[in-house]
Each structure stands twice: as C-alpha cells, then as structure tokens.
Amino acid sequence: MNTMPQYRKLYEILRRHILSGVYEEGSLLPSENELCALHGLTRPTVRQALESLVKDGLIAKRQGKGSIVRKPPQSIGILSIEGTASAIGDKYLKTVILQKPVIRKWEENFPFELSEIERESGAIYLERLRYVDGKPVFYDINHLPNINLPRFTSRSLENRSLFETLRSHYQIRINGGEQRIQAIRCPEDIAALLKIKKGDPVLYLQRKMATNREGFNIYSVIWFNSASHTIFGRF
Amino acid sequence: MNTMPQYRKLYEILRRHILSGVYEEGSLLPSENELCALHGLTRPTVRQALESLVKDGLIAKRQGKGSIVRKPPQSIGILSIEGTASAIGDKYLKTVILQKPVIRKWEENFPFELSEIERESGAIYLERLRYVDGKPVFYDINHLPNINLPRFTSRSLENRSLFETLRSHYQIRINGGEQRIQAIRCPEDIAALLKIKKGDPVLYLQRKMATNREGFNIYSVIWFNSASHTIFGRF
DNA sequence: GAGTGGTCTAGACCACGCA
DNA sequence: GCGTGGTCTAGACCACTCT
C-alpha cells in the first residue's frame, strides 16, 4: 500500500484550504505549534509541510510573526500568465484539444534526451490551443511517456488542466524541470492558430518537467503570443 | 556579530568543493552520516545543507545510493545560457559596463512595486553589455537599492559577475524572484548594441530578484538575442 | 545484510515582531 | 514579555540500492 507521508498529508490539507479560501489572502496560518497540536505532529514535520507551501508561493514566512497566506497568480500548469488589461480568473481560461491523446513513437530528433524506459514505452501525444479572455494565447504540443496511465487516452481534457488530471487521477506531480526559451518569428501555421501575422515575434519554449515518479518526464513545446499576455514566473 | 548557521557553513563548504572540482561530476558525496561525523553535526542539520545543494542543482539524491554530484550549466547570474554550437566556458564570457554604477532616483513608472525603504534610499543604476564567444548576446539595465553598500559605485565590475561581487563583498545572495518574459521586436538602439537588425525578435525580461537581506531586491531588464544563444533555466 | 537516504519524535535555545 | 519562526540535538524506524 502506498501510504502518504505525514508532512505530505498536512501539505495537501493546507494547500486545499488556502486555494478554496478557508484562509484569506494576507491572513496568518495557524502557528507551527498550533498545527502540531491540531494534527498530532512535531515541529520538524509541520515545518516540512510548510516548506513545500513556501516553495509553491502559497505562504510567506516571517520570523516573529507567522506564515502569511498568499494567492499566487492564476497558473496554467507551471506557466503563469498575466493579462495586459485585467486579472485572469478561471472563467476566462479555455482549453481546446486540437489533437486528442494518441500513442506514438518518439520522434527521431526529439529535442531532449530520453531514458531507455521512456523510449521503449512510446509516447502519448497531444496538442492544445489555449484561450484567455476568449482569445488564443498559446499553442502547445505535449509528450508524456506511455507508462502506467490506464485509460488516459480516453479521458476528456477539454477545459481541464493536464497537470490537474495527472495529479488527481494518477498522483503524478511536477517537482521541477528545465526549459529553453527563445524569441522567434512565428511560422505561418502557428500564426493562423494564434490569429496573429506570420513573422510576428512569439515566445518559443521547450520544457522538460520532472515528476515525483522517477523517470517519468513530461515534455512540452509551446508557442506563446506575448503581445497580448505575459508569461510570469517565480524562481 | 552575524554568525552563520551551521547548515549554511556546511553548504558553503560543500558548494565550494563541488565547484572547485574536489568531487568529480557523477561521483558520490560522503554519506549523510559521514558528513555528520566529519563536521560534528546531526543528520537534520546536514540534510538541511544538502537540501540547498539540491535546490541549486549541484547534487541529486537517490535513496539507497547517495548524493550524486552534478555540474549545472554555466550560469550568468541566474540566467543560464546555452550556445547553439559549443559549450560555454568562463573564458568565452565577457562583460562590458556601458554605464558605471551611479546613484539615482527611482523612475516614476518603475515596472515593479517598491517598498518604502527602497524608494527612499534611491537606486544604484548600471548598464551592461555581455558577450559570449566574442559576440554581444544581451544587454541589461540593473537597479539595486542604495542600502548599505559601501564603495559599491567605485568597484570594477568589468568581466565580473554582479552577483558574485554582491556575494563575496556584501554577503548578499539571491534566493528567489519573479520575472515577466516577452518576445518583442528589437528597438533600434538596442539592435545596434546587439549587432542585429531593428525589428528582429528578442527576448525581453523584467525580473525582480529577492535576496537574503529582507527588503533588498535587485531589478533587471534584459534584452536577449535568442537567435544565437538560448536561455536555459531550471525550476 | 549492510549502508544509503526518507521520515519522524521530543525535546531545547535563540532572534525577531509586536503590544 | 510573550508568541512567532529559525536553528539544533539525539535518537528511532523504514524503504530502497547494491552486492
């Protein structure tokens, strides 16, 4: 049986509470000692849970004061997007699947190095076009290794976060990664999708995301129209 | 007196050893228990030091095996750069200061929010043009708050990392930050510096970097020619 | 089986913020 | 002065890797 460590359990609880609004933005989390008492844990364990929340940007700690709740900007996967005009809420975000998940071989010249197990298993491939405020903002293609993902290709991903699906159905979480970023002239086919002119500057990202499953990486290539919206990131 | 915590001391030692080649890439660090004995610490303290190294990408841990030493790509400040042709070593990196550090007021429409203490202290401003392989790759302007930085404006920064200077002379370390990234058409004056055509796509970054000094943030704006080199990042 | 890192307990003292 | 988070000790048991 796969039992979750205590600090992860507490992390999940607090994360859910913060995101669902149990704690107001700017308010204080219960103190570390209170959390110890509430959940029957010791301080190092509680602190381990809080550390992950700090890493997520969900809380900021201040010595002598407490843990301040923050609500990081609306995030799409690991990308965060800032609108030029208004804040972005869930309702303004839309996902259209251009290519439903299919099983394929990995391309010959795949831009990242693959482990043997990944290469042998083949890839699940999908393409998406994502809208903010009703306008197309970026187009991405994604590869994930076809390892132990029952029924994945038949799941509906329309208007759902790929990462949220992996998280809730398969207990797969992104815990790091690497990426290359370039500014390029938009090729014609992508420009048509993004409703911009061929040759307009777009952000081009290649990213490899590592997960809590050893050797299970997710690969994305993204064309992003940064004229209307901005990529926002923490590090 | 500002005495450094034990785990930071150990972190600094190990970091120096890894970077200076005492440990080979791919080899194992001494085990956690060995490090305990060597430095007279307990495991949680040693683990805290190792955690920072993991965060830096300098080691990767494997349960049942050990801590594997890695050498992350050549990094310029927090940016990492990959050449299109060859690997980049120190000797291929050159910095030219276009505007030596001067003390200024903050601009009216500064793109990031400033704390009161930062705004009151004024800014140290500098501009740099940075070369890789003898070619200009990016141009940056930097603002740092004029707080407790004796003799900073008279220091030579040519061919030295700004961050390394802050680290070694003032014990200031970057520990996080946020940034906005866009692809834009290069304006004429910047294009001249980067030796590209006006209107060519360039990466445009606005970044705010937090440090171990509470309320001391470094602000950079960067124009990056991503045609010849790529920005590489871990997260 | 021996050694590794992963998790956890039950305390302790300190520096900092706030009233 | 009190409560907060920051650091640290001295153990313990477990899961995993390697041989």
User: What is d(CA B222, CA B140) in angstroms, rounded to the nearest whole number?
Assistant: 4
Q: Which residue has the tokens 């495991």?
A: B43
Protein residue with the closest CA to the C1' atom of nucleotide C5: B63
B67 CA: nearest nucleotide by C1': C5
Picking from B178, B185, B233, the nearest residue to A201 by CB comes out as B185
Strand D contact with A44 (CB < 7 A): yes
> Can you tell me the distance from the alpha carbon of B54 to that of A27, in angstroms, rounded to the nearest whole number?
31
Task: Report which residue is nearest nucleotide C17 when distances run from CA to C1'.
Answer: A64
pTM of the model: 0.85
CA torsion sign for A225, B128, B85, A216 is: negative
The residue in chain A having the minimum alpha-carbon distance to the alpha carbon of residue B176 is A235
Burial of B85 (C-beta count, 10 Å sphere; 0-12/13-18/19+): exposed
Q: What is the pLDDT of residue B147?
A: 85
Token representation of residue A188: 């014609």
Gyration radius of chain A over CA positions: 20
Chain-chain contact of B235 with A44 (C-beta, under 8 angstroms): no
pLDDT at residue B75 tops 70: no
Rg (CA), chain B: 20
Question: How confident is the model at residue B205, as a pLDDT?
Answer: 94
Q: Which positions of chain A have pLDDT values less than 70? A: 1-3, 74-78, 83-92, 159-160
Taking the C-alpha atoms of residue B59 and residue B53, their distance in angstroms, rounded to an integer, is: 6
Q: Give the span between the Cα atoms of A125 and A142, in whole angstroms.
A: 6
- Quick one: which of B202, B182, B183 has its CA closest to B192? B202
B2 CB below 7 A from strand D atoms: no
Residues of A in contact with B226 (CB under 8 A): 181-184
The answer to whether the beta carbons of residues A38 and A13 sit under 8 Å apart is no
On average, the pLDDT of chain A sits at 86
Q: State residue A86's pLDDT score.
A: 47
Long-range contacts of A25-30 (CB under 8 A, 24+ apart): A25/A69, A25/A70, A25/A71, A26/A68, A26/A69, A26/A70, A27/A68, A27/A69, A28/A65, A28/A66, A28/A67, A28/A68, A28/A69, A29/A59, A29/A66, A29/A67, A29/A68, A29/A69
| Cβ neighbours of residue A48 closer than 8 Å, sequence gap 6 or more | A7
Give the whole-angstrom CA distance, residue B179 versus residue B161.
Answer: 20
pLDDT of B86 over the 50 cut: no
Is there a contact between B127 and B99 (Cβ–Cβ < 8 Å)? yes
The candidate with the shortest Cα–Cα distance to B121, out of B107, B133, B103, is: B103
Residue B1 is predicted with a pLDDT of 44
CA distances, B212 to each of B11, B176, B179, B215, B218 (Å): 15, 9, 18, 9, 11
Q: Nearest CA to CA, how far is A208 from chain B (Å)? A: 9
Question: pLDDT tens, A171-224?
Answer: 787 877 888 999 999 999 999 999 999 999 999 999 998 887 877 899 999 999
**With b meaning 16 or more CB within 10 Å and e meaning fewer, what string describes A20-31?**
eeebeeeeebbe
Structural domains for chain B: 6-69 (1.10.10.10), 75-232 (3.40.1410.10)
**Which positions ≥6 away from A223 have C-beta within 8 Å?**
A138, A139, A140, A186, A190, A194, A202, A203, A204
Helical pair B32-39 and B43-56, crossing angle rounded to 10 deg: 120
Q: Which residue has the higher pLDDT, A130 or B117?
A: A130
Distance between alpha carbon A27 and the CA centroid of its chain, in Å? 25
**B20 pLDDT exceeds 70?**
yes
Look up tokens 């906005």; give the residue.
B180
Residue B226: which residues within 8 A CB-CB, separation 6 or more?
A181, A182, A183, A184, B201, B202, B203
- Share of residues in chain B with pLDDT > 70 (%): 91
Q: Does the CB of B72 sit below 7 A from strand C?
A: no
Reduced to 3 states (helix: H, G, I; strand: E, B; else coil), residue B96 is strand
- How is residue A199 annotated by DSSP? T
Protein-covered nucleotides on strand D (Cβ within 7 A):
3-12, 15-18
User: Any idea what DSSP says for residue B20?
Assistant: T
pLDDT at B90 over 60: no
pLDDT grade, residue B221 (50/70/90)? very high
Alpha-carbon distance of B29 to A213, in angstroms, equals 24
Three-state SS string across B193-216, please?
HHCCCCCCEEEEEEEEEEECCCCC
Least confident of A77-91, B46-60, B162-176: A77-91
pLDDT of res. A72: 75
pLDDT interval class at B203 (50, 70, 90): very high
Which of A44, A183, A232 shows the shortest C-beta gap to B201? A183
Q: Is the pLDDT of residue B91 over 80?
A: no
pLDDT at B138 over 80: yes
Q: Using the beta-carbon criterion (under 8 Å), do A231 and B201 form an inter-chain contact?
A: no
Instruction: Please give the protein residue whose CA is closest to the C1' of the nucleotide C9.
Output: A42
Residues B24, B69: contact at Cβ < 8 Å? yes
Query: What is the residue type of A177?
Result: G
H-helix or E-strand containing B77? none
Min distance B165 CA to chain A CA atoms (Å): 21
Task: Select the highest-mean-pLDDT range: B37-46, B107-116, B211-220.
Answer: B37-46
Task: Report the alpha-carbon distance of residue B74 to residue B89 in Å, rounded.
Answer: 7
Least confident of B20-34, B122-136, B147-161: B147-161
